[in-house]
Amino acid sequence: MSIFRVRSGYIFLFSVIMIGAISLATLGSLLLIGIGSLQIGATVEQSEQARSLAQTCTERALRSLWEDATYVGNENIPLPEGECDILPVGGSGNENRAVCTEGRVGFTVRRYEILLKRILPSTQVYSWREVEQFAACTYAEEGPDLPRSSSFSFSSSSESSSDISSSSSEISSVSSSEIFIDCSPASICDVMIVNDSCMGRTITCPDFQYPAPDGESCGSPSCVGQCRQCPTLPTFYECSGGEHCSIFLMGSACLQISSYCSIGSPVFTGNGCGEGSCTGDCYICPDQGEILSSSSSSASSSSF
């Protein structure tokens, strides 16, 4: 009987300890949830401010271009809330220009890429998109001091956002779920993965040489590490039937053509509309639908 009583006490105590452990775990979880929720709120706010900074730079760039078509961009503008960059303005003359801007608050980055049909007498926007990587512009080699830190913010989505009102890229911080591709010859890799860490580097290698895995120098062909898709060069792919390509490469420049081919007759590099596969390099471009959706979103939140 006495043994039974001793055992009862321990059972009670053991139960209390178990309940306590469960309670502690619950407590920890709730604490983390609370902190996580607060972080989400702060990140959303930070992201909106970064977008506003990108918008500010865009507004300044467009006005500067309107005032002087030879405006070259390549500016870093510090503002009370953070900073924004205007990349070198693409194209030349009055038609077919590209403006790319980037707003940063902390580790949050938002980017706008605007293709202009013409500047004067009034600026006409061909497309206005929020993107995760610039395709129509390149970072200046000696331009604004752009961040290439290990926590460089990057969206995990591989598709560009085409709708301004719904875009929500760049909120997430760098993670292992990023999209990586193997380096291609002569590409510029600005972030290398070393031991699961992102190493910020900006290296331009000559043809058929690659940034070495440690990102320190250009080496011979084996790019062992994976290299994030370079934001400094446009990405190309081969067109297939039914795709619309509205922008093409001329030298290092992107050219738009104003007319679209119909579905089933993609635009070829310089050969007009035709059937079949596109043998030339075709710039990844928003298809007509995306552009239209981008334009239609302007009533609610865009600036054109």
Per CB under 8 A, contacts with other proteins among 281-300 are: 298-300
How far apart are the C-alpha atoms of 114 and 303, rounded to whole Å?
A: 11
Per CB under 8 A, contacts with other proteins among 125-144 are: none
# binding residues, other proteins (CB under 8 A): 82
Tokens 């990586």 sit on residue: 180
Is residue 237 involved in binding other proteins (CB under 8 A)? no
Q: Which of 7, 27, 185, 217 binds other proteins (CB under 8 A)?
A: 27
Least separation, in Å, of the C-beta of 233 and other proteins? 14
Whether 234 contacts 115, CB under 8 Å: no
Is residue 256 involved in binding other proteins (CB under 8 A)? yes
Is residue 258 involved in binding other proteins (CB under 8 A)? yes
- Nearest C-alpha neighbor of 282 from the set 291, 296, 293, 271: 271
User: How far apart, in Å, are the Cα atoms of 82 and each of 77, 106, 143?
Assistant: 9, 8, 18
- Nearest C-alpha neighbor of 229 from the set 130, 159, 129, 141: 159
Span from 170-178, 204-212, 221-229, 269-277 in contact with other proteins (CB under 8 A):
269-277
Of residues 59 and 159, the one with the C-beta less far from other proteins: 59
Cα Rg, the chain, nearest whole Å: 25
| Contact characters 75-94, other proteins, x per CB under 8 A | -----xx--------xxxxx
Is residue 217 involved in binding other proteins (CB under 8 A)? no
